[in-house]
Amino acid sequence: MDEHERRLLKEPFREIKVKVPVRMDDGSLEIFQGFRVQHNGARGPFKGGIRYSLHVNEAEVRALAEVMTWKTALVNIPFGGAKGGVTCDPLQLSKGELERLTRKFTAQIRHVLGPMRDIPAPDMGTNSQVMAWILDEYSSRQGYSPACVTGKPIELGGSLGRDRATGRGVVMILGEHMRDAGRSLQGLRVVIQGFGNVGSKVALLLADQGAEIVAVGDIFGAVAGHDGRGLPVRELADHVKRTGSVVGFADAEAIDNEALLFLECDVLVPAASECVLNEENADRVRAKVIAEAANLPTTPDADAMLARKRITVLPDILTNAGGVIVSYFEWVQNLQQKPWEESTVRKELQRRMLETYRDVTHLAAHQGVTLRRIAYSLAVERVLRAEEKRGA
């Protein structure tokens, strides 16, 4: 790329920072900060999740918005990339406070949202209920607009299979990679960091296919199966539903949260936050494969270290794209007012995930470079071509 092209792709289209005042249950007024970054819309409306976390800041949202541009381009769905968030601790807010925060945030950024402008979805700290409030707040001013947000409850036009889509996509990519390596998911020893929407679904789907989930961690701590054996994942998921954390699960041993990343295993699945594999710790990773379910879990330095150690990294923009692919299906169903069967969602998801996987692995083998490098170059090329056709 020349300098002009590089700047064209690097600079976000629009960045918004808003004040989000919320009346708390005790009567006090709390001021939160909200962000929406629309990185690139050359290939279609902006698309990306809304995150509620104490770590949300401009730089994080900007980086995650850019990742969405490459992800939607790589899997070739007609969207651009965006991300948003509010700096808050959702676990400390009551349901009423969360609703007021979501409605106020939506009202502050409503002018840049819309089914043909920018379509939010769930991310860390948000869920289908938060999407329902966004839909209601947006529709109350603009008229009934189910396609203005994805990851909604089914009752409001959500897609069957959306809640499991990211996890299912991760398992599809991992299954295909193992098949290429002459193995199956049966008996695979897997460690998962993060047991939220994505991590828990990956654990349950992998366990269904005979993999052993040997250890799991969340923000509060980590647990491992007794004597290196797999955890009873369904019981663990019930425990997390009841208590909010994997910590204290009776049928397991407590282990150190950071040590989780360095356990010997076949596959490590980071499914929590960014930069957890970095130059300080990547040399201690003992997994053979890393399946990036989280966005940006590996820093560039760590990526190079892992490549030198011949650890295969299944990159985020490929591996966790199932969520945005089914979000696209949800948007299509909303625009056409025609719901799909879950079997159709699953079949179409599989077709798109595996087609992309084949393209990426074929080129990577041909050119002798990493999967991430090919995934990024395919995506960048598609966005650049769209920019050029538009006359940039």
CA 37 to each of CA 22, 49, 119, 187, 391: distance values in angstroms, whole numbers, following the listed order: 22, 11, 12, 42, 23
Nearer to ligand NAD, 194 or 225 (CB): 194
Catalytic residue among 71, 83, 152, 201: 83
Per-residue 3-state assignment (H helix, E strand, C coil) for 292-329:
CCCCCCECHHHHHHHHHCCCEEECHHHHCCHHHHHHHH
CA 89 to each of CA 208, 242, 258: distance values in angstroms, whole numbers, following the listed order: 33, 19, 22
Please report, as residue ranges, which positions from 223 to 282 form the binding site for ligand NAD (by CB under 6 A).
271-273
User: 83 catalytic, yes or no?
Assistant: yes
159 touches ligand NAD (CB under 6 A):
no
Shortest Å distance, C-beta 12 to ligand NAD = 18
Shortest Å distance, C-beta 197 to ligand NAD = 4
69 touches ligand NAD (CB under 6 A):
no
Nearer to ligand NAD, 303 or 384 (CB): 303
131 touches ligand NAD (CB under 6 A):
no
Q: Given candidates 72, 102, 150, 166, which one binds ligand NAD under the rule CB under 6 A?
A: 166
84 touches ligand NAD (CB under 6 A):
no
Containing 361, the helix (H) or strand (E) segment is helix 342-367
Q: How many residues bind ligand NAD (CB under 6 A)?
A: 23
Nearer to ligand NAD, 317 or 384 (CB): 317
Nearer to ligand NAD, 23 or 62 (CB): 62
Containing 291, the helix (H) or strand (E) segment is strand 287-291
Helical H segments across 75-219, by residue range: 95-109, 128-142, 162-180, 197-208
**Are the C-beta atoms of 35 and 64 separated by less than 8 Å?**
no
φ/ψ bin of 296: left (φ > 0), alpha (ψ from -120 to 50), beta (otherwise): left
Q: Given candidates 88, 198, 224, 268, which one binds ligand NAD under the rule CB under 6 A?
A: 198
Tokens of 176: 């295909």
Spatial neighbors of 274 by CB under 8 A, at least 6 apart, are: 60, 63, 64, 294, 295, 296, 297
Nearer to ligand NAD, 167 or 230 (CB): 167
194 touches ligand NAD (CB under 6 A):
yes
Shortest Å distance, C-beta 4 to ligand NAD = 31
Q: Given candidates 46, 133, 195, 249, which one binds ligand NAD under the rule CB under 6 A?
A: 195
Distance between CA atoms of residues 142 and 147, nearest Å: 12
The span from the first CA to the last CA of the chain, in angstroms, equals: 14
Which region among 190-198, 223-231, 247-255, 365-373 touches ligand NAD (by CB under 6 A)? 190-198
Which region among 212-220, 300-308, 334-342, 360-368 touches ligand NAD (by CB under 6 A)? 212-220
Closest CA to 375 of 342, 348, 392, 353: 353
Nearer to ligand NAD, 259 or 392 (CB): 259
123 touches ligand NAD (CB under 6 A):
yes
Mark residues 293-332: x for contact with ligand NAD by CB under 6 A, - for none: xxx------------------------x--x---------
Shortest Å distance, C-beta 194 to ligand NAD = 3
Shortest Å distance, C-beta 154 to ligand NAD = 16
Shortest Å distance, C-beta 159 to ligand NAD = 12
Distance between CA atoms of residues 245 and 311, nearest Å: 30
Distance between CA atoms of residues 243 and 224, nearest Å: 18
Longest dimension (CA), the chain: 63
Q: Given candidates 20, 42, 61, 124, which one binds ligand NAD under the rule CB under 6 A?
A: 124
**Are the C-beta atoms of 383 and 39 separated by less than 8 Å?**
no
> What's the distance, CA 310 to chain centroid?
25
* Catalytic residue numbers, as ranges: 83
Interface residue list for ligand NAD (CB under 6 A): 122-125, 166, 193-199, 217-219, 271-273, 293-295, 320, 323
